[in-house]
Every structure is written in structure tokens, then in C-alpha cells.
Amino acid sequence: MSTLPPYSALIALAPWEPPEVVAEVLGSLRRQSLPPDQVVISCDGPPPPPLHRCLLESGLPLRIVPGPGGEGAGPVLARGLLACRHEIVVRVDADDLSVPMRCERQVRRMHATPWLAALSSPIAEFERDPTRPCGLRTVPCGVERVRRFSRWRNPLNHPSSVIRRSRVLAVGNYRSKRGFEDYDLWLRLLAAGERLDNGPEVEVLAQVGPAHLQRRHGLRYAGKELRFLLACGREGLIPWPRVLLLLPLRLPLRLLPPGLLRWVTHRLLRRVPSSALH
């Protein structure tokens, strides 16, 4: 383990995040078999006192990067990545738990494969108890499978990703693509000839519920997806024939009634794992 390089962890933090949830997330980082050398907290607005106190009491080597608020995830992550001092950066969502071996496994893989620009993993979803997963966000393994998959759907799970800082900065860092900041980044990396992959083990546990699904539903989100796909066509990230095929395939899903969308998501796009945590 001593031969592995130090790494930074990057968290984008909104002021409305519950302090008790953030404390659990930071605790999962503190319990890593290979702890982070730096944890960058990039803030989308000043954290209220209880949340700020939670950060200070974490016991982790934090660097808090302030922001004006209301910027969205892209600019917040871009500012945070610039503040990271290490080449390998582990992405952590403010409401997801990292399993104890996550960082060691992913940093070891990135260290052993210097040609990889980014790596992620499956994510186990739970509703109340993280030891009882209700679904699994799978992603393809293998560089070519990831590339092919990217033509249809987001090929990496952003909350369980680890990125190589210099490669991300070389393609322009994170951009303001509300709801699609990560997919935009993966497509730009692939367009630049970079290679992406996924590991087989579950590395992150994500709590889900009606609010989680609601964020990806409705006319407003459908409009964001429409603008994103059209921008991908204009920039050459996705060929226009593929864009025109994706529009009628993806947009109607956003307009389904919430109950039906939940059924489709869990029955067709997720599978319940028999042993997701092993």
C-alpha cells in the first residue's frame, strides 16, 4: 500500500445537504483502507453553521473552496478540481457512502494503468439500510465496451468515479451542462482519444427514493436533456444520426408518470443484486 501514490477526494457541496448525511459520507472516507491525502470541499454557496461545523469536525485533511452559490455542479466541480493537488482524484458525492476498500482498489488500478483517464464502478442503491440494496447501477467493463456504450447512455457512474486530473483539464475541465456534467466530460475525453473503464466491484452505496427519481423527471429535465443532446450533435461528440435516434428514445421516459418511471427504472434499467456488497 505504501507504494501507491497519494490522492485527492473531491466533493461538491450544496448548502442544503443535511449535516448528518454529510457526516456519514465523510466518515466513510475516514474509514478507507487507503485514506485520502486531501479532501477538497467545493461549495455551491456558503454552508450554513451546522454544515460547516460538520466539516470542521470530520478529522479529515480538508480544503474548503468557497463559491458564490447558484452556479450548478459543473462550475463547482471545475473550481474544486483546480484546487486538488494530486493527479489522481476520487469523486465523492455528498450523499453517497464509499465502501472501505474503494479508494485503495481504484487508486491501485489507476496507478497500474496510467493510460486510463477515468474509472468507475457499479453502485448499489438502498432506500434506508445500506446493507440491504434494492438495485444496482451497472456499467460496462472493458475500454471498447465503454466506448460503444457511450453512444447510447452515460458509460460511467460519476459518484463512483476516479479521474486523472491532467487529462480532465486538458479537455477543458468540467463544464456547465446542468444534469449532464459527467456525461459531457466522458464524451469529450473519448473524443480526445482517451480511454475509460469500469471495475467490477461495487464501490459506492447510494441512497435513493422518490426525490432522487423526481430530479430526473418532467418537462424541465426533458428540456435539459434535449439541449444537451443537440449540443453533443453540434460539437461532434455524438453523430447527428445517433442524436436523432436518441431523442425519441430518451425524452419520452422523462414525461412518464412518476410511478411508471420508477417501475421502468427498477425493472428495466436496474437489477436487484443477489449479493451486491460481496
C-alpha distances in angstroms, 177 versus 77, 160, 184?
Answer: 12, 19, 7
Q: For residue range 129-165, what is the model confidence (pLDDT) as tens digits? A: 988 888 899 999 999 999 999 999 999 999 999 999 9
Handedness of CA 13, 18, 23, 25 (dihedral sign): negative
pLDDT of residue 90: 98
Identify the CATH class of 8-208: alpha beta
Type of residue found at 136? L
Residue whose C-alpha cell is 480544503: 63
Computed over every residue of the chain, the mean pLDDT equals 91
pTM, whole model, 2 decimals? 0.91
Average pLDDT over residues 49-65: 97
Alpha-carbon distance 218 to 231, whole Å?
20
C-alpha distances in angstroms, 124 versus 29, 135, 192, 207, 268?
Answer: 17, 6, 31, 9, 16
**pLDDT-derived band of residue 251, with 50, 70 and 90 as boundaries?**
confident
Every domain range in the chain assigned CATH 3.90.550.10: 8-208
